[in-house]
Structure 1
Amino acid sequence: MGKLEELEESLYGREDRAPAGRGRKQMSFPASGRMLRTSWNTEKPRAGVPFTMPISKVTAMVMLAGALFIVGAGVFAFVYLGSERREAKIEIGGRDRVEGGELVTIPIIFRNVSGDALEESDLVVTFPQESFLQDGAGQLTRVTGRVVRRIGTLAAGEERQEQFTMQFFGREEDEKSIKASLVYRPVGLRARFSSEAEKTVTIARVPLAISWDIPETIAPGQEVPITIRFNSQARATFEDLWLLLEYPSGFTFIEATPTVSNADDRQPSADARWSVGTLMPGEEKKISLKATFGAVGGDVQSLRAGLGTFNELTKEWKVWQESTREVRLSSSPFFLEGAIGGQREGVVKPGDFVSMTVQYRNRSTVAVKNISVRLALEAEVLDVSSLTIGDGGVFDFATKNIVWGPGGTQALREVAPGQEGTLHLQARVRPRPVVSTSADKNLTIRMRTRIETPSIPDELKGSALSPEDSVTFKVATVVLIAGRSVFRTSPISNTGPLPPKVGEKTTYTIVWEVRNFTNDVEGGEMTASLPPNVRWENAVSPSGTDMRFDTASGEVRWRMGRIAAGTGVLTPARVAAFQVSIIPSQLDLGRSPALTGDTHFTGRDMFAGEDVRLDMQGLNTQMPEDPLVKGEEWTVKQ
């Protein structure tokens, strides 16, 4: 019997036999009636009992590692991909409501709230359209896309802040959205993640104003002067500004100053545009034009002006402020036009005598009798006592009007078809306007004129004789400058002999003072040259005053910047002082040597749109305004 057969026999044999060379072993068998397996692989698995393969330890460890990897990957995906980031937080600060064009600072604060460093961090900010960002040099540039700032590594728990100074533009109550994202890579990972924030800024006010100078009623076909004024009350400058004028069909341009920017593509019932460029704080500009309205009498025509931005390539217009003016077209048979100094607009100066005229003409085909011309002067700045009225006119104290009527003016008893005439008056502008409150600024002289008659011909009944005419002139501000030399009543201590002595050094203080009445003045400066024998002592009062001495030119310059209306009238005057010294020579004996040359003031009247230039004689060692210095101490002694 072979070995295999012996093994089978020993395992499956029905009897208990001991193999050769081995001890006898007692075996137990199943109960009778149960069949025993008599060969290999003859028993099939029983139904309902799973078949289990044997598993080695290596295989079990590999399977366990795979399961742990799958669980770890799931946790990673949930924490790093499926949940909100917790390594960093970001927030956008600053005000929620701003003024259009105002320079505002937007702080963006971000912090690492994890226990590990965040590497390769970038701050990505998206600003809204119509916003400008200020760079390190103070220049404002329109934002055209995202702004990225490299942050680098944020240590665990570290907080930083980035600030953006900018301007927002738009209509009132426009909402502007700012989005910020901090992009970073947690240490030990290759993937980059982000934390985001968003803020809405509302434009609470647009500090631009538009006003009109145009008669409320005009005749069809009448040449009408129109002035559109616009100004800024913002604290920052508006750049690249445009003005749009929308007008009705039948509106015809005669001339415009400045020239219309889109003169070549204007169409009837369309618009006209002007590129007005920069508008500084407190500055006023204007568009002047002459035009006619072609509609019939009785119609109401509308003009609309808007300020904003215009893209010349896309023709896209974005308005920030607008104003509408309605004009009624009459069937007036009379032409009426007032003027000051022969002009329809301009500036008058305090102390000037102004000549005013009213021109009339009968454009109808019938004579009109018993005409009265009434002129209302809205000008507190005029000295009524200086008023001179020509051509038989009188001043009506009840209505405060100047009236020319048939009783005093022969030509008005009957005005024939085509007949015309001119009426005259003159008055003086007060040398110093009365300034009682802060509202007494930006003064004007306004003439409003109309024609009346108690006996309108039957052919003209139902229509006014003429539209009311209006002319407005601006009044320039009054700026006063003064200077004095002092020794004892001085904000700066002086030294040296008084009276001054030949060969010995004496110091003096020069005091300058500026007052301004009715209009804001920008860019105010005072300058004076020092004589060659006078030295700058580098002492200025009050401290912080922008006053400098140029050794090359020998010129002292005081930069004042903006001088508000009412300075020195409602509020204290602008005063500054500086110290100089002189060592008199034998040639100065018995004299009062000069301490400064002539003094000059320059600035810009922002309301009148004119330069202000003033001159003052230089100062010497005479000190009449120092009460503690006697007259005999002014001149040089031996």
Structure 2
Amino acid sequence: MFQSDKKSPLERVQKSLYSRDDRFPESPRHDLHARDESVPEEWKGEEPRPEEVKGSMKKIRKAYSYLFVAAFGFFLVAAAIGGYTLFGGKNFVSVQNVDILIEGPSSVAGGDVLALNVSVVNRNTTGIELVELVAEYPEGTKDPEYPERDLGKVRFPLGDIGSNSIAQKTLRSIMFGPEGTGREIKFSAEYRTAGSNAIFFKEKSYRVAVSSSPVLVAIDALSKVLGGQSSDMVVTVSSNTPSPVKDLLLSLEYPFGFSVVSATPQPSYGNNIWRIGDLAPGAKKSFAIRYSLEGQDGEEKVVRANVGIQSQSNEREIATTIISRDHSFAIERPFLALDVALNGERADLAAEPGKVVRADILWQNNSQGRISGARIEAKLSGNVLDKGSVSVENGGYYDSLSNAIVWEAGRTAGLDSLAPGESGRVTFSFSSVSSIPGESAINPLISVSASAQGGRVDESGAPQEVLAASGRSVKLVSNLSLSARVLRSQGPISNSGPVPPRVDQPTTYTVVWTVTNTSNSITGARVEAALPPYVSWTGVTSPADANISYNPTGGIVTWNVGSVPRNASVGSGAKQVAFQVSFKPSANQVGSAPEIVSQASIVGLDTFTGATLRNSAQSLSTRTSSDLFYKAGDEAVQE
């Protein structure tokens, strides 16, 4: 390559910088000239015509339209190919080709068995695997084979279903619900496909109507009641099906101002819920409620009775209501109001035998005029009444032959003329016999029936008789008793160890508890006692399957007695249990007879009175005086 002799401007500048001669010759100066920046005000070329512009725009829009149509067409083709590949391809499963077919009646009688033939159909060209039919029943639906069991959500494995194949299952259930209502069962088929862990499903619902109720409910009560006066109501639940109805619950809804005085049988929960349990075909159960109703004159109140299947999650609630019935009461305000209070309470009383009961008969004139010549009478009934205990105040007199107490004008102050709005009371007292005779030993009670009468002049000036009535009852509670004794050489359990007990050597004892009862049945009875720290529980009991337990925390021994029948005595229905304890004395207990079981207490519910009964038995020590072979000194700890 030849190098040019001609130097570039940069090389010439470099040479000048390093030259010994004059550095830089003077550069000529140049003047700056202003540029003409003016813009023409008119187009120099020919102005385009409007039709040419429109034509150009149409061409552009048309091109874009073709492009959009082509893109959309491509999308449709891609979607079709994808859908076919996913759902309709020869080797793929489409959920649209899986179906659930349900055959069964459109209605069923409540409490009858509902049979449904359910089929899972696979119309795909390949099979589906691990198929499960899931049925979700409405709450309260029962299993015909185990009527006490709720069905809820149930799974039925169907295995694999091949191409264009079907799997069938017959499902049976017992449906409940108010007559004419619909009940819905939800079905789903869950399955997998070959080579995939994903779970696919198909859903379908089936609705069936409840054509009739398996139970009927009736309310027998007055349609008009006197405000504040006691009245009676009977609710009857009867079977309406040839099959037993399981786990029934009766729930009453009371209006404001409704007070329950008493109920037979006693409510299972609160004052308005009864557990009916199982109702056999053709059977009926009645529930009597004595009540009082407060309200304004002419006001209407409604009581509703609901019967249904008891909830398994909450025993106080109805899972499925089978039938409901309403009863309306019209409140009338009496001209003369009368009520009875026992020991200060306007309600029935549960009392111990032999205890004195105070009774007050309360009256009030609700009319706009005076009531004259009033007479009040109280009648006592019941063969457990101690006639000699009756004491009367306020000028009344007692006729022991008729068991009637009478207060009347001329003898009792204030009864000659009762002013409008005036109120008052008369009082007496009585008691039951202390020892209840055998013929009266079942559900003993004393009834108090009060009545009043007088005269008034109505709005037309005509004389009118005024009447009033009320009543209460005194129910005698049962005598639930507990006795405790300790044995060494007798009883159902064999014991070991030295007698008298010796320091640091264990000696075992048998503790025996016995429960007796008198007039009324007892439920939920329970006995508790505590073992001191130096006494241990061996776990030996008699009978071996006795419902007795020991809690090391606190050393509590608990015996769940359960039900105790009326008139349960030793040798005839009494409940008894025995258990063994081991006592290992310390040096500081030498010469003493240490306690080995604390005082035992018993609690139970009196089913007749509704009262909770309590009693206790003495604590037990090493003094085995109940043992036939006991001798003085056997109780004292020796070294």
**TM-score between both structures, scaled by the size of structure 1:** 0.56
The aligned residue for residue 371 of structure 1 is 374
Residue 598 of structure 2 aligns to a residue in which SS?
coil
Q: How far 1:179 sits from its partner (Å)?
A: 11
Q: How far 1:344 sits from its partner (Å)?
A: 1.4
The structure-2 alpha-carbon separation of the partners of 1:325 and 1:622, relative to structure 1 and needing over 3 Å to count, comes to farther
The aligned residue for residue 560 of structure 1 is 561
The structure-2 alpha-carbon separation of the partners of 1:168 and 1:588, relative to structure 1 and needing over 3 Å to count, comes to farther
Deviations 1:337-374 (A, max 9, x none): 22112221254331443211012233445554443211
Q: Which amino acid aligns with 2:622?
A: T
Q: Which amino acid aligns with 2:305?
A: G
Query: What CA distance in whole angstroms lies between the structure 2 residues aligned with 1:633 and 1:509?
Result: 15
Q: How far 1:335 sits from its partner (Å)?
A: 2.4
Residue 595 of structure 1 aligns to a residue in which SS?
strand
Q: Tell whether 2:618 aligns with 1:617.
A: yes
Alignment check: 8 A CA contact 2:348 2:472 kept:
no
Residue 466 of structure 2 aligns to a residue in which SS?
coil
Q: Tell whether 2:415 aligns with 1:388.
A: no
Query: What CA distance in whole angstroms lies between the structure 1 residues aligned with 2:472 and 2:143?
Result: 42
The aligned residue for residue 349 of structure 1 is 351
Q: How far 1:447 sits from its partner (Å)?
A: 3.1
Q: Tell whether 2:429 aligns with 1:420.
A: no
Residue 633 of structure 1 aligns to a residue in which SS?
coil
The aligned residue for residue 154 of structure 2 is 147
Residue 582 of structure 2 aligns to a residue in which SS?
strand
Residue 394 of structure 2 aligns to a residue in which SS?
coil
Query: What CA distance in whole angstroms lies between the structure 1 residues aligned with 2:519 and 2:484?
Result: 22
Q: Which amino acid aligns with 1:372?
A: R
Alignment check: 8 A CA contact 1:503 1:585 kept:
yes
Residue 468 of structure 2 aligns to a residue in which SS?
coil
Greater shift, 527-536 or 394-403, is seen at: 394-403
The aligned residue for residue 305 of structure 1 is 304
**Which of 126, 131, 136 is the aligned partner of 2:141?**
131
The aligned residue for residue 530 of structure 1 is 531
Q: Which amino acid aligns with 1:306?
A: A
Query: What CA distance in whole angstroms lies between the structure 1 residues aligned with 2:601 and 2:270?
Result: 35
Q: How far 1:305 sits from its partner (Å)?
A: 3.3
Query: What CA distance in whole angstroms lies between the structure 1 residues aligned with 2:272 and 2:456?
Result: 50
Q: How far 1:603 sits from its partner (Å)?
A: 4.0
Query: What CA distance in whole angstroms lies between the structure 1 residues aligned with 2:565 and 2:494?
Result: 31
The structure-2 alpha-carbon separation of the partners of 1:150 and 1:402, relative to structure 1 and needing over 3 Å to count, comes to farther
The aligned residue for residue 578 of structure 1 is 579
Query: What CA distance in whole angstroms lies between the structure 1 residues aligned with 2:572 and 2:356?
Result: 29
Query: What CA distance in whole angstroms lies between the structure 2 residues aligned with 1:325 and 1:434?
Result: 43
Deviations 1:453-512 (A, max 9, x none): 5x7668786754133223356655432222111223311122334444455433211111
Query: What CA distance in whole angstroms lies between the structure 2 residues aligned with 1:487 and 1:540?
Result: 14
The structure-2 alpha-carbon separation of the partners of 1:120 and 1:503, relative to structure 1 and needing over 3 Å to count, comes to closer
Query: What CA distance in whole angstroms lies between the structure 1 residues aligned with 2:435 and 2:115?
Result: 49
The structure-2 alpha-carbon separation of the partners of 1:572 and 1:563, relative to structure 1 and needing over 3 Å to count, comes to closer
Task: Give unpaired runs (5+ residues) of structure 2.
Answer: 1-108, 117-128, 162-168, 192-207, 239-243, 261-268, 278-286, 310-318
The aligned residue for residue 243 of structure 1 is 252
The aligned residue for residue 467 of structure 2 is 466
The structure-2 alpha-carbon separation of the partners of 1:133 and 1:460, relative to structure 1 and needing over 3 Å to count, comes to farther
Alignment check: 8 A CA contact 1:534 1:595 kept:
yes
The aligned residue for residue 338 of structure 1 is 340
Query: What CA distance in whole angstroms lies between the structure 1 residues aligned with 2:502 and 2:170?
Result: 63
Deviations 1:282-320 (A, max 9, x none): 9x9999875225339xxxx8854312479xxxxx99564
Query: What CA distance in whole angstroms lies between the structure 2 residues aligned with 1:563 and 1:232?
Result: 28
The aligned residue for residue 63 of structure 1 is none
Q: Which amino acid aligns with 1:400?
A: N
Query: What CA distance in whole angstroms lies between the structure 1 residues aligned with 2:302 and 2:570?
Result: 40
Deviations 1:413-469 (A, max 9, x none): 44455543210011235566567589x34x66543321135x766878675413322
Q: Which amino acid aligns with 2:453?
A: E
Query: What CA distance in whole angstroms lies between the structure 2 residues aligned with 1:321 and 1:429?
Result: 42
Alignment check: 8 A CA contact 1:475 1:608 kept:
yes
Q: Which amino acid aligns with 1:545?
A: A
Q: Which amino acid aligns with 2:507?
A: T
Query: What CA distance in whole angstroms lies between the structure 2 residues aligned with 1:205 and 1:567?
Result: 37
Alignment check: 8 A CA contact 2:228 2:292 kept:
no
Q: How far 1:149 sits from its partner (Å)?
A: 2.6
The aligned residue for residue 405 of structure 2 is 402
Q: How far 1:578 sits from its partner (Å)?
A: 0.2
The aligned residue for residue 66 of structure 2 is none
The aligned residue for residue 189 of structure 1 is none
Q: How far 1:280 sits from its partner (Å)?
A: 5.3
Alignment check: 8 A CA contact 2:481 2:616 kept:
no
Q: Provide the identity percentage.
A: 21
The structure-2 alpha-carbon separation of the partners of 1:235 and 1:286, relative to structure 1 and needing over 3 Å to count, comes to farther
The structure-2 alpha-carbon separation of the partners of 1:345 and 1:231, relative to structure 1 and needing over 3 Å to count, comes to farther
Residue 385 of structure 1 aligns to a residue in which SS?
helix
Q: Which amino acid aligns with 2:430?
A: A
Alignment check: 8 A CA contact 1:236 1:280 kept:
no
The structure-2 alpha-carbon separation of the partners of 1:295 and 1:201, relative to structure 1 and needing over 3 Å to count, comes to closer
The aligned residue for residue 507 of structure 1 is 508
Q: How far 1:125 sits from its partner (Å)?
A: 6.3
Q: Tell whether 2:362 aligns with 1:362.
A: no
Query: What CA distance in whole angstroms lies between the structure 1 residues aligned with 2:295 and 2:486?
Result: 61
The aligned residue for residue 591 of structure 1 is 592
The structure-2 alpha-carbon separation of the partners of 1:405 and 1:428, relative to structure 1 and needing over 3 Å to count, comes to same
Alignment check: 8 A CA contact 1:521 1:563 kept:
yes
Q: Which amino acid aligns with 1:361?
A: Q
| Aligned-residue CA RMSD (Å) | 5.9
Q: How far 1:611 sits from its partner (Å)?
A: 4.2
Query: What CA distance in whole angstroms lies between the structure 2 residues aligned with 1:242 and 1:493?
Result: 52
Alignment check: 8 A CA contact 1:435 1:569 kept:
no
Q: Which amino acid aligns with 2:306?
A: L
Residue 131 of structure 1 aligns to a residue in which SS?
coil
